[in-house]
Amino acid sequence: MLLPRIFVVTLVCLFAAGLPVRAETACRFGTPPTVLVEEGDPHEIGSRLLKVWEVEDNPVFWSETTPGSEAYSKFRGEVADLDIETDPVHLLEGSSIENSRIVHRNADDWIGPAGCLEMLMYGHQHARMNTFTDPTEFGSFILRSPDEERLRVYFYTNNQDGLGNMDVIVTPVLEDKREGWDVLVALHSHVFHPGQPEINGILAPSEPDADFHANLHASLGLREGWITNGVHTVRMPSSSFDDFTRPSGRGEVSNPYE
């Protein structure tokens, strides 16, 4: 369909005058995701969901703009109503593992408020499985296209409080990497468990998490590893990955192409 002539002329004049085209300012994807895997009801053992959005690489995604989604608003409302402790440094102090101490020492540089992308992902998960009645995690990858204009955002979850094997999401990311996409972020959630200080929204990698990040950096050039509890996020640079404690019998991320 041809655009109305006045609209075309207006666009030409805007570009000629060097005026910026208005960018999206709302924290939202705007288009529905492509569902790659969907198996079972969310509350059934063995259920899985993998989906991906492809969107323009808009600055709002890297900002602290809060989504307008009902699900994320509901999550934050429940955090307030339940009087959940959200101070990330205080939560780290309740954890005895060495990796928590490493993050604690770097908290000023690494920990900040959850950003738009993390909040969007957390809202999707909270709508699927309520954080406080059915605590489960999600995993995500954020990639940038070879022309640096688009993002692919993968989202994977199951009905477990811990994701287990991640091959189902790593496989398409490996293929994207082969096609020139830049693997920017591996993100996953550590949800609140009030009364259980060792796992209560701790923004630090477990030993398997640390192993996962290090292996992804080696195999995919992963830039950063992020963990979010929906309120705050720790963003660990790849230069820190080797500092964390990893399992003694560490393995490699499964690569179906090798």
Q: Is the pLDDT reported for residue 22 higher than 90?
A: no
Give how many domains the chain has, as a whole number: 1
Determine the pLDDT at residue 165: 84
What mean pLDDT do residues 124-149 have? 94
* Residue with the larger pLDDT of the pair 161 and 206: 206
Task: Flag whether 14 is in a domain.
Answer: no
Q: Residue 6: which pLDDT band, with cuts at 50, 70 and 90?
A: very low
Query: Is residue 207 a contact partner of residue 99, using CB atoms and an 8 Å limit?
Result: yes
Determine the pLDDT at residue 160: 73
Give the best-scoring range by mean pLDDT among 42-46, 155-159, 171-175: 171-175
Determine the pLDDT at residue 226: 98
Distance CA 190, CA 158 (A): 14
Task: Flag whether 84 is in a domain.
Answer: yes
Burial letters 42-60, b for 16+ CB under 10 A, else e = beeeebbbbbbbebeebeb
Question: CA geometry: angle at 73 spanning 70 and 74, to 5°?
Answer: 85
Query: Is residue 157 a contact partner of residue 125, using CB atoms and an 8 Å limit?
Result: yes
Enclosing domain of residue 121? 25-243
Q: Residue 11: which pLDDT band, with cuts at 50, 70 and 90?
A: very low
Task: Flag whether 4 is in a domain.
Answer: no
Task: Flag whether 158 is in a domain.
Answer: yes
Task: Flag whether 211 is in a domain.
Answer: yes
- pLDDT tens-digit profile of 200-227? 999 999 999 999 999 999 999 999 999 9
Determine the pLDDT at residue 159: 76
Query: Is residue 122 a contact partner of residue 130, using CB atoms and an 8 Å limit?
Result: no
Q: Residue 10: which pLDDT band, with cuts at 50, 70 and 90?
A: very low
Choose among 171, 141, 158, 169: nearest CA to 49. 158
Determine the pLDDT at residue 162: 74
Task: Flag whether 12 is in a domain.
Answer: no
Task: Flag whether 2 is in a domain.
Answer: no
Task: Flag whether 8 is in a domain.
Answer: no
Determine the pLDDT at residue 161: 66
